[in-house]
């Protein structure tokens, strides 16, 4: 290997020449199934898989001493580390979204194919010509949401259009949840992906189309504007709107459609209780709180309420939000320990950071617990003068706290695309998302072999 790779010279001795070299950057919770898939397919395909992470021990845990794998410490901020990227045939970035551009810039210039699950940014779009001129591609939004949602929706949307039908409405919801259990968790929810993103979800304005009218929901009303959705075999859920459904008018070629709505699924009752934190201001991430090191859970909640020397925190909260002391919302807060005299356990933080830290005490998934991913689409269209509706849905359960449904549905699309590219069955140029048939069709076909299956039901 070239001398420009100091980390691979001594600490990481050269391995026998492999036909294809894959670099996975990021060994976090969503990468486990992706890395397992690549290692499982490495030997028969003559691949070598390198996993790089700021925490080398975590990368080593993911590789698990596999003969076709290697772990290394990788810091995207280190110029020498970034040069390592040039030695690989394919790079999969599981780093935080803010770091993808640094990886993509090297891949584009060096002519290396790249994959990631994150949203396309304008900064990365500007690299499209460089990727294309160097004969390679970057597929983004290739995880769960975005990713499987794009591919499964476009499969039906393209079929409806090909039949000459006229699309009237499209709604789509995805949820990362706990699998059904009897553990007594009244929220029926725990963190299965980045907790910070969960706490900050929905901030800003929501935009969507409903019956030909543009609709907007401010953040402070979002968790009150929900709808109940029934998914066959899996029961009732509630959905709240995602930030900007309107950008999918272009991505899905839906100009002229009357209703376009994207949302997130939770168990019924979740949103009303979560709205307590929103109305208090506990999800605010714009300022640092004072004396956090000495703050208890109870004091955290009390800090948002008016001063009263005699009324309890529970009573003040109930009055402030006009809810009953024995309401479902108060029960859920009590279960979380929000009124306990336990120290938060942080030295400093914004309200959102403090809330996240408290929630992780109860919402961290246990080793033997299983999560579940649910996705649901509704298509409304006119075919030969007849009004029709179709539901398409899937549900995937995890195996445990490591091999989660979240890591499966985020990682498998990336893994399958990597396999297709390295075997020559998929060639992509420029910067793409998986909304074109030549990309989504082979990926969806193989995902079915791994338990990611959509069922369709016509609504009468």
Instruction: Tell me the pLDDT tens digit for each residue of 152-172.
Output: 999 999 999 999 999 999 999
Domains along the chain? 6-140 (3.40.50.720), 148-270+367-403+455-459 (3.30.360.10), 274-363 (no CATH)
Q: What is the pLDDT of residue 1?
A: 33
Tell whether the model's pLDDT for residue 106 goes beyond 90: yes
- Distance between CA atoms of 221 and 226, rounded to whole angstroms? 10
Secondary structure of residue 25 in the 3-state scheme: strand
Report whether 41 contacts 7 (CB < 8 A): no
Is the pLDDT at 307 greater than 50, yes or no? yes
Mean pLDDT of 412-422: 96
Burial of 86: CB neighbours in 10 Å, binned 0-12, 13-18, 19+: middle
The secondary structure of the chain in percent helix, strand, coil, rounded to multiples of 5, reads: 35, 25, 40
Name, in order, each residue with C-beta under 8 angstroms of 437's C-beta and a sequence gap of 6 or more.
154, 158
Instruction: State the average pLDDT over residues 288-293.
Output: 96
Give burial (CB, 10 Å; 0-12/13-18/19+) of 268. middle
Question: How far is the first Cα of the chain from the last one, in angstroms, to the nearest whole number?
Answer: 63
Checking if the pLDDT of 17 tops 70, the result is: no
Please check whether residue 168 is in contact with residue 381, taking contact to mean a CB–CB distance below 8 angstroms.
yes
pLDDT computed for residue 8 by the predictor? 41
Q: Cα(164)–Cα(170) distance, rounded to whole angstroms?
A: 16
Residue 181 has pLDDT above 80, yes or no: no
More confident position, 384 or 415: 415
DSSP H helix total and E strand total for the chain: 18, 16
Residue-level pLDDT at 259: 96
pLDDT band at 192 (very low <50, low <70, confident <90, very high): confident
Q: What is the pTM of this model?
A: 0.88
All residues at 6 or more sequence positions from 84 whose CB lies less than 8 Å from its CB, including other chains? 5, 7, 8, 23, 52, 72, 74
Q: Provide the pLDDT confidence category of residue 402 given band limits of 50, 70 and 90.
A: confident
Cβ neighbours for 340, distance < 8 A, ≥ 6 positions apart: 296, 297, 298
The Cβ of residue 237 has, within 10 Å, a number of other Cβ atoms equal to 22
Backbone angles phi, psi at 252, to 5 degrees: -105, 5
Burial of 36 (0-12, 13-18, 19+ CB in 10 A): buried
Residue showing tokens 């179709």: 390
The total of other beta-carbon atoms located within 10 Å of residue 18's CB is 16
Looking at 175-179, 241-245, 379-383, 399-403, which range is the least confident one?
A: 399-403
Q: Which residues pair with 386 in a beta bridge?
A: 383
> How confident is the model over 304-310, as a mean pLDDT?
92
Q: What is the pLDDT of residues 37-91, one digit of tens each?
A: 999 999 999 999 999 999 999 999 999 999 999 999 999 999 999 999 999 999 9
Q: What is the mean pLDDT of the chain?
A: 92
- Kindly state the percentage of the chain with pLDDT values over 70: 96
Q: Residue 28's pLDDT is what?
A: 87
d(C-alpha 144, C-alpha 154), whole Å: 14
- Whole-number pLDDT of residue 182: 61
447-457 mean pLDDT: 94
Beta strands in 232-349 (DSSP E): 235-241, 259-267
For range 177-190, the mean pLDDT: 86
pLDDT at res. 412:
96
For 91-108, the DSSP string reads EEE-S-GGGHHHHHHHHH
Q: Cβ contacts of residue 131 below 8 Å, gap of 6+?
A: 107, 108, 137, 138, 429, 430, 431
- Cβ proximity of 191 and 358 under 8 Å: no
| H-state helical runs in 76-174 | 79-84, 100-110, 122-125, 128-133, 148-162
Does pLDDT of 381 surpass 80? yes
pLDDT in tens, 205-221: 899 999 999 999 999 99
pLDDT bucket at 190, cuts 50 / 70 / 90: very high
E strand or H helix that includes residue 21:
strand 20-25
Predicted confidence at residue 75, as pLDDT, reads 93
User: Are 432 and 140 spatial neighbours (Cβ–Cβ below 8 Å)?
Assistant: yes
CA dihedral 403, 407, 409, 410 (to 10 degrees): -160
> In angstroms, what is the C-alpha Rg of the chain?
24
Q: Has residue 460 got a pLDDT over 90?
A: no
Please list, in sequence order, all residues whose beta carbon lies within 8 angstroms of the beta carbon of residue 301, skipping any fewer than 6 positions away: 280, 282, 313, 317, 333, 338, 339
The contacts of residue 393 (CB under 8 Å, 6+ apart) are: 231, 232, 234, 374, 375, 376, 377, 454, 455, 457
């Amino acid at each position: 290997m070239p001398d420009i790779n100091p980390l691979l010279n001594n600490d990481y001795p050269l391995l026998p020449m492999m036909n294809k070299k894959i670099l996975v950057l990021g060994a976090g919770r969503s990468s486990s199934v992706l890395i397992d898939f690549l290692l499982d397919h490495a030997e028969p395909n003559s691949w070598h898989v390198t996993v790089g992470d700021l925490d080398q021990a975590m990368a080593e845990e993911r590789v698990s001493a596999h003969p076709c794998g290697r772990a290394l410490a990788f810091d995207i901020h280190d110029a020498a580390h970034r040069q390592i990227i040039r030695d690989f045939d394919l790079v999969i970035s599981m780093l935080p979204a803010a770091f993808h551009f640094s990886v993509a810039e090297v891949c584009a210039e060096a002519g290396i194919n790249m994959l990631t699950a994150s949203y396309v940014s304008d900064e990365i779009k500007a690299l499209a010509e460089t990727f294309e001129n160097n004969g390679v591609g970057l597929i983004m939004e290739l995880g769960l949401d975005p990713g499987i949602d794009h591919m499964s929706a476009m499969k039906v949307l393209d079929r409806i259009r090909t039949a000459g039908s006229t699309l009237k409405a499209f709604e789509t919801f995805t949820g990362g949840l706990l699998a059904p259990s009897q553990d007594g968790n009244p929220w029926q929810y725990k963190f299965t992906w980045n907790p910070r993103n969960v706490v900050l979800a929905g901030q800003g304005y929501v935009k969507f189309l409903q019956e030909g009218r543009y609709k907007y929901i401010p953040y402070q009303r979002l968790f009150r504007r929900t709808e109940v959705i029934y998914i066959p075999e899996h029961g009732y859920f509630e959905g709240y709107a995602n930030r900007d459904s309107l950008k999918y008018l272009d991505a899905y070629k839906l100009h002229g459609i009357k209703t376009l709505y994207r949302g997130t699924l939770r168990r019924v009752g979740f949103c009303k209780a979560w709205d307590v934190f929103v109305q208090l201001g506990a999800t605010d991430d714009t300022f640092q709180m004072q004396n956090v090191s000495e703050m208890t859970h109870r004091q955290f909640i009390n800090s948002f309420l008016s001063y009263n020397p005699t009324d309890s925190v529970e009573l003040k909260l109930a009055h402030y939000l006009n809810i009953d002391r024995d309401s479902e919302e108060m029960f859920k807060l009590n279960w979380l320990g929000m009124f306990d005299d336990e120290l938060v356990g942080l030295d400093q933080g914004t309200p959102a950071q403090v809330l996240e830290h408290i929630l992780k005490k109860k919402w961290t998934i246990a080793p033997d617990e299983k999560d579940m991913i649910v996705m649901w689409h509704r298509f409304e269209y006119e075919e030969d003068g007849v009004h029709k509706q179709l539901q398409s849905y899937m549900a995937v359960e995890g195996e445990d706290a490591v091999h989660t449904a979240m890591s499966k549905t985020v990682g498998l699309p990336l893994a399958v695309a990597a396999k297709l590219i390295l075997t020559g069955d998929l060639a992509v140029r420029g910067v793409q998302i998986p909304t074109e048939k030549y990309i989504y069709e082979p990926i969806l076909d193989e995902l079915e072999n791994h338990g990611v299956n959509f069922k369709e039901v016509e609504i009468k």
